Amino acid sequence: MLVVTVVTILVQIWLSFNSTVVTSNVRTLIMKLCWHEAEILHLLVDNCRYFTNPRYFRLRQ
């Protein structure tokens, strides 16, 4: 999952140099994918913290 994030960031950098209608559409799609992946990572981290320290999870709520 981390590799995919790095690749999408590199593609975003590459797309930032080619600003056309097509690439801007692709850029928004990549940004949506990155955001979705960040949400998944955030949930995974939260779940790991919950299992290792349930008190932390109760403080977050």
Give the predicted TM-score (pTM) of the model: 0.31
CA 18 to CA 13: how far, in whole Å?
A: 9
Q: What residue spans define the domains of the chain?
A: 34-61
Q: Which structure tokens are listed for 48?
A: 């790991």
The pLDDT value recorded for residue 4 is 78
Q: Which structure tokens are listed for 29?
A: 């799609």
| pLDDT band with cut points at 50, 70 and 90 for residue 37 | confident
Span 11-34, pLDDT tens digits: 777 766 655 556 667 767 777 777
